[in-house]
Amino acid sequence: MPVATPKQFAQMLDAAQKGNYAYPAVNCSSINTINAALKGFAESKSDGFIQFSTGAGQFASGLQNNDATSGCILLAEVAHRLAEQYNVVIALNTDHCQPNKAEEFLKPLIEETARRRARGESNLFQNHMLDASALPLAENMALSQEYLKLCAQHEIILEVEAGVVGGEEDGAAGTEDMPAEKMYTSPEDMVAVHEALQGLGRFTFAATFGNVHGHYKPGAVKLRPEILKQGQEAVMSRYGPEAEFDLVFHGGSGSDLSQIRETLEYGVIKMNIDTDTQYVFTRPIADHMLKNYDSVMMIDGEIGSKKLYDPRSYLKKAEEAMSVRVARGCDDLRSTGNTLFGQI
């Protein structure tokens, strides 16, 4: 089916919240990675997110252009066409966008959706992330209010963040001297987020509970999922069950399965797995090159093997490996078998 309409996307989020499952969110930067994500979702009979960072947009736009906005438009258009081949529901999102990039990145993408809607077409993106978490909370919420209102005009759901995710991901990074408490969103901050944004439009919320971008050795990351529980309880005790957040888990790669599953009980409906999918995509390529070195390189006057240095020979292996990891993400998050395709 085509990429989700705004109504279908809202139904996806509602179904995950009601069913205590979440969707893998897969960062993509090429046709190969989009195909891998779609195959993984389809084989799991799971709906899911495909998302693009500013860095992915720059990469996809070409060496001469190097423009994040045009690259993300290109990737989204490709995803719309490819998604038509699959019997699952796909939502498109843009990942971390810092305040200094919002004017030149988010606004043109929202305007592109507005142009599509004026032609009677569906949204280019269903979801955008504004990551103003490095700002003081009051400034973060003021900017989030501006973009939430803008998104709501076009039935786009905005993802916001309060608290800082550690590690580094395509320009989104915590600082080495960041106080430890910044990695844990307090219940008071979660209440403040609700009070600032409620009624302006639908949004999802990346609250932090010690999560980090990237891979770390066992024991290096101190996740505290109970932070999410405490924050949800603080908000709902004051404003009722309807105030429950749709939460987003950033830095999900490498996390302990029991803690992943625990977050589902506290309202997480989306988890990002970019680091894992990058690694599994690259591993078969490295294996192919190391095993076939004499064939992919023209050494000592030899001619190599065209079949083995043809990029298709190793990129398809990479696609397959990535699709398997996406499917595992669906299993971890209990979205397997829960597609809304044919029901909405």
Write the pLDDT tens digit of every residue in 226-266.
999 999 999 999 999 999 999 999 987 778 999 999 999 99
* pTM for this entry: 0.93
Give the pairing of strands 157-162 and 168-169.
Answer: unpaired
Predicted confidence at residue 221, as pLDDT, reads 57
Is pLDDT above 90 for 119?
Answer: yes
Contacts of 249 (CB under 8 A, 6+ apart): 22, 206, 211, 255, 260, 263, 268, 270, 271, 272
Q: State the amino acid at position 267 in one-letter form.
A: G
Is pLDDT above 50 for 176?
Answer: no
Buried b (16+ CB within 10 A) or exposed e, 145-184: bebbebbbebbbbbbbbbbbbbbebbbbbbeeeeeeebbb
The catalytic residues are: 95
Question: What is the rounded average pLDDT of the residues 309-328?
Answer: 98
DSSP annotation of 242: G
Distances in Å between the alpha carbon of 12 and those of 17, 49, 95, 131?
Answer: 9, 10, 18, 23
Is pLDDT above 60 for 171?
Answer: no
Cα separation, 75 vs 205, in Å, equals 24
**Domain residues of the chain, as ranges?**
6-284+326-332
Is pLDDT above 80 for 175?
Answer: no
Q: State the amino acid at position 185 in one-letter form.
A: T
Residues 177-231 pLDDT 10s: 455 556 789 999 999 999 999 999 999 999 999 887 554 444 455 789 999 999 9
CATH topology of domain 6-284+326-332: TIM Barrel (3.20.20)
Predicted confidence at residue 170, as pLDDT, reads 59
Predicted confidence at residue 183, as pLDDT, reads 75
